[in-house]
Structures are given as C-alpha cells and as structure tokens.
Chains A and B, each alone.
Chain A
Amino acid sequence: MTLAIILGLGTPLAVALLTPCLRAYPILRDALGVLGGLVSFGAALHIACAVIDGATPEWLVLSIAGGLDLRFAITPLGAIFGLVASGLWVVAAVYSAGYMRAANESHQTRFAAFYALAIHAALGIAWSGNLLVLFIFYEILTFSTYPLVIHKQSREAMRAGRLYLGLLVGTSLLLLLPAVVWVWLVAGTLDFTPGGILAGRIDPALTPWLLALFAFGIGKAALMPLHRWLPAAMVAPTPVSALLHAVAVVKAGVFTMLMVVVYIFGYDFLAGAADWLIWLACFTILAASIIAIQQDDLKARLAYSTVSQLSYIVLGAALASELAVKGAALHIVMHATAKITLFFCAGALYVSAKAQKVSELDGLGYRMPLVFGAFFLGALSIIGVPPMGGSWSKFLLMSGGAERGMMLVLVVLGVSSLLNVWYLLEPVWRGFFFAPKDDKEITQYPLVVAPLVVTALLSLGLFFTPWIFADLVELVVMR
C-alpha cells in the first residue's frame, strides 16, 4: 500500500521535474503528462479499492519534531478527492496539450511542469494523514499555481497573481495556521480521526470561533467575501481554469473544509455550532449566482458559478448531518466533472472561434455541435437535473437540509437551481437559436474536443452508476 501512495504522489512530482528536461521534445513532454496521469490514477484507484475493503493505507515519512509527523493516511474522503484529481488530470493533460498548441501560448514547458506540480500538491492534500501535512500541501498548491495564473505575464495577469497570492496566502497564514495551532494545543494531536478529536476538549462556546478561523482561513473554498481571487485567476490559460480552478485548487479548499468538519470536529459535535456558516454559505450561493448572471465573459460567469457551487459543499459541511455530509462529498465529484466540461468548452470556443463572451456565441451551436452538446450536459448536471450526476448530490444535500429541519435551505437550493438555468443555459440557447453574427473561420482541434466529450459523458454516466463513489461516500459517514 505504501508503494501505491509513493507512486501516486511521486509520479506528478517526477513529471514536474522531468518536464524541463524534455523541453526540446514537446510531444514527449506532453505524453509524459498523460502517462503520469494514468499512473497516478491507477494508484489512486488501487488505494480507493483498499479503502472500500476497510483498510487505511498509511505512509509515515518521518517525524518532523515533537509529535508532529509527516504522515499520509487515506481517509474515504481523501480517496474520493484523490480519484477526482488524478482521474481528471489524465483528461486535462490531453486537453492542455491540444489547447496550448492551438492557442499558441508561450512558456509551454514551464506551464506543463507547474501543472504537474500542482497535481502533486492536490494529491498531497487528498492523502494527508493530519492537519499539518494538509496545511503544508495547501501552501505548496498555492505557490505552485502562481506561475500558472500569471502565465501571460501581462500587467493584468501580474495584478491577478498578486490578488491570488495575497488572498490565499494571507488567509491561510492569518487564520488557517492559528486554527491548526489551536487544535494542536487543545487536542495534542492533529491526526484525522473518524468522529473527530475535539469533542470534550474545547469549550463549546469557542467552537464557532474555531470554525470561523477554518472557514475563512481556507480561502480556496472561496466563501464570500474571500472569493475575489477566483474570478481574478481566470486570466490564466483555460486548462488552468479547468483543472485547477474548477477541480484541484477549489476542491482542495472545500475538501479541507469537509476534512475539518468530519475528522477534526466530528459532525455530531459540530452540529448547531455551525449554523451561522449555513447562512453564510446560502448567501454565497445566491449572491454568486446573481453576479454570474451579469457576467458577459464566459469564463468569469463560470468562475462565479464555481463560487456558488463551492458553497453547496460548505453548506453540506455546515449542516453537519449524515445526509448533508454525504451530499457534500458526492458534490465534489459531480461538480468537478461537470464544471471541467464547461471550462473545456469555454477553452474550445476561445481557440476555435475566438469567442470569449457569451454574446459572441450567437449561432455557433450548429457549427460546433459537440462542444455545445457537451456544454449542455455539463450545465444540466450543475443545475441538478436527472439524468445527470449532479442530481444525486443535490438530492442528498436537500435531504440533509430537511434532516436538520431547515426548510429555508431547500428553498435556497431550489432558487439557486433556477438561477443556474438562467445563466448556464443562456450560452446554449444563444448558440442554437440566435442568428450568427458573422461567418468566421472555425477550426476545430480533435485534442481539444475529445476530452470535453469524455467528461460530459462521464457526468452523464455518473447518474446511472455513481461507481465506487457511492461506497466511499457511505464510508465517510460510517463510524
């Protein structure tokens, strides 16, 4: 088992280190990324199967000092996130090879290297055995994605990079780190333990404050008002927005939130103390959706949609009931596959038709049917309509709200779905039913289109069989 962990974590790192050596051979360099994704995914799958069989794969690397260990231990939740991050990396590696060539971007080698490094960090977060290791990889993820955000090195990109770093590093240092130290001082351990480690060790009156440190300290969860970095980061090339700012980075944020709720607080202990967070999450869900409606820039619209969707998961964590936590864990998977599809489509539209704005999509539907079809499926999944994977997680989240007797939460989720219909189906609507404005030349790139078809079908397939995720989600709430 240790070998699988080493392989899974080490492969992206090795890819990151080898990529610069293959600078002169772009084809090999890009193939390396795909290959690395396959190896990591294989390892993640192997680990996930072991977790389903009841094992907890562990790897104690070394003791840092005085009871603080550099240790990996895979929780069911970690197995889910590991599968998502490594699995979508395979698809995204293919996509980014196609996209970077088609868009004729500079610094492709640097891009590929940091891309792999970011996945390494995401897997480190997924498989971390305690809060300290999680924090370490959380920071590595921030720094390794910085060169990707400022990829264009324009004035705008540099400004976005400063905001990105400022908000993510700032919140993690000012709030998350003290929260970690607080847990360490109170509980004497930082290990992720089913049922939590804080029950009976912390004054219940202080629990909401500790939770607040976590909720705002985990800037990657993009809870309002700390969400500004995410739309700003959209200045990066689309593969970054797709894999990192729809999957790895933001999911790392909400994943951390879930880990803290499930394995540090213990959701039984937390229930009630997190009520304020429920309302903040609800506010973020609605406010971000309303902002998304006003965005004409497609990627900005998707970014605000992500902000809104991330708060579904925070909401699930804050509801702290069994069904809600299951729904939140499942939503990591469902939203990831759907949102990566949408971003892939946005990138495809950019390289093929040079369309970045929703208003520029008029009439493109029939000329790029696969892209718009995939966009349609992805949008449906996010809205939560059967037969798409997203319907399961939304259903569980709503049940969780009902379980806690909070009917208002159900209303919020319902309204949010309606808003989703408005802003996510508008591009499809325009594509098929509006008259084209001009007859631009459209070149489609197979390496760009194939991945988005795959992820769209994936999010369709996840409705019919939630695959091993169903078992893993059950394990998250099992004691």
Chain B
Amino acid sequence: MISFASEYALEHAPALIIVVPLLLAVVAALCPARMGYMLALVASAISALLACLQMQVMAGLPTDYRVSYHLGGWTPPWGIEFAVDSTAALVVLVIAVMGFIATISSKQLFLREVDGSNYNRVYGAWLLAFAGLLGLVMTADAFNLFVFFEISSLASVTLVAMGSGVDKRALVAAFNYLLIGAIGAIFYVIGAGFCYAMTGTLNMLDLGVRLPQVASQVPVYIGFGFMVTGVMVKAAVFPMHFWLAPSYGYAPMAVTVLLASVATKAALYVLIRIFMTIFGGIDVLPQLILQWALIPLALMAMLLGTILAIYERDVKVMLAQSSVAQIGYIVLGFGVGTLAGLQAGFIHIVNHAMIKGGMFIGLGGLVLAMAGQTRPSPTRIDRLAGLGWRMPITASAFLICGLSLIGVPLTAGFISKFYLVSAVISAGYWQIAALVLLSSALSVIYLWRLVEVMWFAPPEKNKGARLPESPLIYLPLWALALANLWFGIDAGLVVDLSYRAAAALMGAG
C-alpha cells in the first residue's frame, strides 16, 4: 500500500509539487486566519518531500534522463508539458526545501509586522508565490511559463505590500515591483509571441528544434531579445536590479526570506533555460550574448552590488544589495558557458539560497527581539549593537551564514568561490577571476562591520540582559547554518548534483 502510494506520488510528482500548494493556497485564503500557517506548512512540506524523492530517483538515472508529464493527458507539443530533468530537479529541490524552511520561520517573523487577522490571506498569497516559482521551473511550455511568471509576481507583490503595517513606503515599493514585474512579464510574452509566430509551437523542446531552422530571420532575434530582457528583470540581473533592494527592504522580513532565497533563483534558472534549451540550437547569437553581454553585466552587478552594500546603513537593504552581487556570481558562471561554468553557477544557486535564507532569517530573529524597543527603523545597523552577546544562539548561526557569504574556507560559500574561480580561469578569463575575488574581498568589509557592531561594540553599548530567542527562528536558522558548514566540508553532493544539472543543460543544448 505504502509502496503503491509512493509510486503514485512519484509518478505524479511533477504535477503534485505544484498542485498541492496551489490548491491549499485557495483553501488557506478561505479558512479562518489561525489555520493559514498550518496549511502553508503542510503544503510546503509536501512539496519539499516530493522534491527530495524526485531528486533521489533522478540521481540514480542517467544525466540526460527527462521525466515528461502531460497535463490532462494532452501530448506535447499541443498540450502543456511539465518536464523534470536533472537541472530542473535540482532547482525545484532548492526552491521547495528553502520554501519549507522559510515557511517554518515565517510565523514568528510575521508576528510584529502583519496583522493576525490577515494570516489566511497572507498565507494564501505565500503559497501562490511558492507554487508559481515551482511552476516556473517545472513547465516546459513557453506560454505556460508566462502564466507562472504572473502568478508568482502578483503574489509576491501582495506579500511585499504587507510590509505597510510597519512602514508605508512598502506600498510604493510594492507598486514599483508590480510595474517592473509586469513590464518584465510583458517583454517575455512578446518574445514568446515572436517565437510562436516563427515556429507555430510553444513547447520548449520543440522550439529548440524548430528555431534553428528559421535562425536566419530577424524576428527570431527580436523574440530572443524580448524574452531574455523580460527574464533578466525578474532575475534582478544588472542593470535591471534596481527594484530588488527597495522591495526586499520594505517587505515583511518573512517575505524577504522567501524572495531572497528562492525567487531570483527560479528566474535565473529560466534565463539559462532560454539560452541553452530554447535557443540552444542556434550557435552564434546566444553564445555571443552570453559572453559579451552577460559576463560584463555580471561583473557590474558583482562590483556595484558589493559597493552599494558597503555604503548601506540599513542591514536589510545591505543584504539585498549583496544579493545583487551574488546574482552576479551566478550569472557569471552561466555566462562563461562551459560545463564547469554552468556547474559553478548551479553550485552557487544552491549555496546562496542557504546563505541568504539563513542570513535573513537570522536578521529577522534579531530584529524581532529588538522591535519593541527600536522603532521606527529596527534594521539600522547601530540597533544591532551588542546583540551578539544578548542573543547568542541566533547571532552565532547568523555569523556562520555570514562567513559563508564571504566565502571563508570550510563553508559552502568557499566551495562556490573555488569552483567559480577555477571555471573562470580554465575558460581563460583570468582577469575576470581577479574581479570576482576583488568583489568577494570587498564583501568582507560590510560583513565585518556587522561583526564589529554585534560583538565588539564599545562596552557602554554592550549592556543589556539576554533577550528571548524563539526556537521557530533559531531551529531553521541553525539547520541552514549547519548545512553551510556541512556542504563546505563535504561538498560532494552539491558538486555532483550541480554537475548533473550542468551536463543535462549542455546535452539539451
């Protein structure tokens, strides 16, 4: 019976991973407020579990194996297809597991920031965003991707706007986010339209086969440009990153955790999918764009994000700026375009999710304890003075994630950096490797300012009793901190899975 159930679940995993949170989102919105958290927890747990099972199965199969799931039984290229290959399985796993962890911590984090009577609607939007992001990764249909694009964007906008309970500027940030997200989505769908007009298909694999046949025609390139630009907005790739800092900064902390750890990851995945699968058959242009457009943009993102973070005094915004830089690392890995480069990109997708997720949860925990005492802006850096001693459990895990962010050896961040630098050097761009290292050395500056303030502030600011720490925050936080250490010491799993993800993409392209 159990084996039957698990087989059934596995067979339909590609659909169930998305459908469960999508359905429970509706249920949550209709239920009494206090049930919202429970439902979100259940839905994200099921998705995470299924993603793990799916990964386990995929890991035992050849790299180029691809599970195809036909929604409603309509066969592609006519029906909508969900597809899971090694690449998608990895990104889905990251999103589902990080989504689950973010959900666990969300209850405490929402406590001060969102009115309790709204919890059902909040968690409804939460699950919609979660399902939308999973759908982005799983779908093999270019138009269906647009649908998930919109689902996740609108839900995220709603969540960001929830920050207005604390700071009204959240509404402006949410409105900007809405406009930017809509522009991105429209660009994408225009691009998809061009491709459809040229080939008569919307299935990604099918597009990958047919586009090269019409590759000489201008509309293909226009379509390509629109699609890539649209997705780059969503992924916050420089110079379309400007929406990210305000919307992360003013969103409720729990929402920042969710968005920072998974939202951009899904968009980055779509970006590389467009390059490698949809336009992978066309040799010249996408490769040129990868090298001559993405790499410079990634470098700008790395340096600019880091420098902005150095000058930022609000810790939450500072971490958001650092995300811009970290997205730069991932895009750089993709831009190098070799197997090793893609692998490095995927390694950092995994590691950065653990790092930033942990840091935002930790920051949330610290701010939560201080919130009553330090209105209006509890995330100003000097508010954290002495918290290292007053909240040791949360602060120490926060520090571990921080050390991982700057890539201290024995943390996951170091593995990312090592693989990225060796990929960049072995592709012959040693000057770029120097810039990567420069940016990561600069990131020590802003991280260390936190350490100085939290642990080594002048004694007069250091006074104060221990503050209460919530297990709902420090348990998921410590899980991430330990994962950062574990995958920094025994990195085999992440490295292997990322290698498979990269190999699957290269094989398809």
Contacts and interface: CB of A to CB of B under 8 A. Distances in A.
Interface of A: 62-66, 70, 135-136, 139-140, 143, 147, 150, 153, 158, 161-162, 165-166, 169-170, 173-174, 177-178, 181-182, 184-185
A158 B410 contact: no
B410 A170 contact: no
Contact of A143 (B408, B445, B456): B408
A323 B403 CA distance: 42
B440 A173 contact: yes
B366 interface: no
A179 B494 CA distance: 24
Given A153-B456, A158-B456, A169-B441, A178 B490 contact: no
A158 B458 CA distance: 10
Contacts of A158: 452, 456
A181 B425 contact: yes
Nearest to B441: A173
Contacts of A147: 455-456
B490 A64 contact: yes
B458 to A, nearest CB: 7
Contacts of A65: 415, 490-492, 494-496
A153 B459 contact: yes
A26 B463 CA distance: 23
Contacts of B403: 143
Contacts of A184: 422
A178 B492 CA distance: 22
Shortest 3 CB-CB contacts between residues of A and residues of B? A136-B409, A65-B495, A65-B491
Main secondary structure on chain A at its contact with chain B?
helix
Contacts of B421: 177-178, 181
Contact of B422 (A62, A140, A181): A181
Interface of B: 403, 407-410, 414-415, 417-418, 421-422, 425-426, 430, 433-434, 437-438, 440-441, 444-445, 448, 452, 455-456, 458-459, 489-492, 494-496
B410 A178 contact: no
Contacts of A140: 408-410
Contacts of A153: 456, 458-459
Contacts of A63: 490, 492
Contacts of A177: 417-418, 421, 437
21 contacts: A63-B492, A65-B490, A65-B491, A65-B495, A65-B496, A66-B495, A140-B408, A143-B403, A153-B456, A153-B458, A158-B452, A165-B444, A166-B445, A173-B437, A177-B418, A177-B437, A178-B437, A181-B418, A184-B422, A185-B425, A185-B426
B489 A174 contact: no
A219 to B, nearest CB: 12
A170 B441 contact: yes
B492 A135 contact: no
Given A150-B456, A178-B421, 7 more contacts: A62-B489, A65-B415, A140-B409, A162-B448, A174-B438, A174-B441, A181-B418
A64 to B, nearest CB: 5
B306 to A, nearest CB: 13
A184 B437 CA distance: 17
Contacts of B441: 169-170, 173-174
Contacts of B417: 177
A70 B257 CA distance: 33
B444 to A, nearest CB: 5
B503 to A, nearest CB: 14
Nearest to B499: A66
A185 B421 CA distance: 11
A153 B460 CA distance: 11
For A62, A63, A182, the residue with the greatest tally of chain B CB atoms inside 10 Å of its CB is: A182
Contacts of B410: 136, 140
Contacts of B494: 65
Contacts of B438: 174
Contact of A70 (B426, B434, B448, B489): B489
Given A139-B408, A174-B438, A178-B434, A64 B425 contact: no
Among A136, A158, A181, which residue has the most Cβ atoms of chain B within 10 A?
A: A181
Nearest to B452: A158
A184 B414 CA distance: 15
A165 B414 CA distance: 17
Contacts of A173: 407, 437, 440-441, 444
A143 B492 CA distance: 26
A165 B441 CA distance: 10
Contacts of B489: 62, 64, 70
Given A63-B492, A64-B415, A65-B491, A174 B434 contact: yes
A135 B456 contact: no
B433 A178 contact: yes
A64 B492 contact: yes
Nearest to B422: A181
B59 to A, nearest CB: 15
Contacts of B430: 178
Contacts of A165: 444, 448
Contacts of A182: 425
A165 B448 CA distance: 9
